[in-house]
Structure 1
Amino acid sequence: MDIDKYKHQHTVIFDNIRKLKEFSHLGIAEHAADIAAQVIKMSSVIKLHLSIEDKFLYPALQEANNPRLATMGKQYQHEMTHIAEAYGEFARKWNDAGHVAADPDGFRNAANKVLKVLFDRMQREDRDFYPMIENA
C-alpha cells in the first residue's frame, strides 16, 4: 500500500507546528494574526488527512488479509477520534487573532497540550504504524 501522501501530510503538519512555535517565541500577542492564520492553514491539512485516513486507509486495512494490521488500524482510528476532537476545539478557539491576542497564556497552554499529543501521535505513526503498513 502506498502511504506516501500520508507521510507527506505529516511533514506539512510538523512544519505548521514548527511555525506556530516560532511565532509564539516571537510574541504571541504581537503575532496573533500570524498564529490564527497558521492554525487555519494547519487545520485544513489535518481535516484532509483525517478524512482520507477514514475513507481509504483504515477501510483498506480492514479488508487486507492481515489481522494484526486490521486490529492496529482500528486502535489508531479510535485513538485519533479523541485527538481530533481536542484539536477541533483548539482550532475553533484559536483561529481568531482577537482570541489569541486577548489570551496569550491560554493559547500557549492549549497549544502545548493539544499539539504535543498530535505531534507524538504522528511520530508514533511514522515510526511504528506506517512502516508496518509498508512492509505488509
Structure 2
Amino acid sequence: METGGHIGQKGRRDVDIERFKKEHVDLLAAMTSLRELVQQGVRERAEPIHRQLSAMNSAIKLHLAAEDRMLYPALMKASDPAIARTGQQFQEEMGGLASTYLAFAARWSLAGKIAADPQGFRDDANGVFKALHLRVQRENRELYPLAERL
C-alpha cells in the first residue's frame, strides 16, 4: 500500500481512501444538521430542510459516483479473491441503497412537498438516513480497511 490511503499500482494514485473517509464524516455531520432541523418542526423549517437536502444530494451523488468509478473497480481487481468478492458485494448492495436514496430525493425535491406532509417526510427520511448511516459505518469498518491493505 502507498502512504496516505491510496490504492494504486506502480506509483499511480487511483483511489484516495482518506477522501472517502472525510466525505463520510461530512455526510454524518450533514445528517445530524438535518435531524436538528426536523426536530425544530418539519412544516416550520421546510425551506432550510430543503436546502440541507439539496446540499446533501450533491455530495452523496458525487461520493457514489467516485465509489463506482474508482473504489469498487480497484477492489474487484485485487489479487486477493476475498477482497475482490467484498468489493463486488459492496457495489451490488450499494445499487439498491442508491436507488432508494435517489427516489427519496425525488419525492422530497421541493420545500412545498416537505411542508405538505411533515410526518411522511419524517418517516421516509428516518428510514433512508438510517440505512445510509448503517452503510457508512459498514464501509468504515469493513471496506476501507480492506482498501487500505492494497
Instruction: Report the TM-score range of the alignment, normalised by the length of the smaller protein.
Output: over 0.9
Q: Which residue does 1:9 correspond to in 2? A: 23
Aligned residue pairs, count: 136
In 2, Cα distance between the equivalents of 1:11 and 1:132? 19
2:106 aligned residue (71, 88, 92): 92
**Deviation at 1:45?**
0.7
1:91, CA displacement in angstroms?
0.7
Shift, 1:70, TM fit: 0.7
Q: Take 2:121 and 2:53, find their aligned partners in 1: how far apart are those partners?
A: 11
Check whether the contact 1:37–1:95 (CA below 8 A) recurs between aligned residues: no
Q: Which residue of 1 aligns with 2:4?
A: none
> What does residue 31 of structure 1 align with?
45
Which aligned pairs between 1:48-67 and structure 2 lie closer than 5 A? 48-67=62-81
Letter in 2 for 1:16: A
Counterpart CA distance in 2 for 1:126 and 1:6 is 9
Larger radius of gyration between Structure 1 and Structure 2: 2
Unaligned ranges ≥5, structure 1: none
Residue 64 of structure 1: how far off its partner (Å): 2.1
1:70 aligns with 2:84: yes
Cα displacement (A) at 1:133: 1.7
Q: Which residue of 2 aligns with 1:101?
A: 115
1:63 deviation in Å? 1.8
Structure 2, unmatched stretches of 5+, are 1-6, 8-15
Partner of 1:80: 94
Q: Which has the higher helix share?
A: 1
* TM-score (norm: length of structure 2): 0.87
Runs of 4+ in 1 over 6 A off after TM superposition: none
> Sequence identity, in percent?
44
Normalised TM-score (structure 1): 0.96
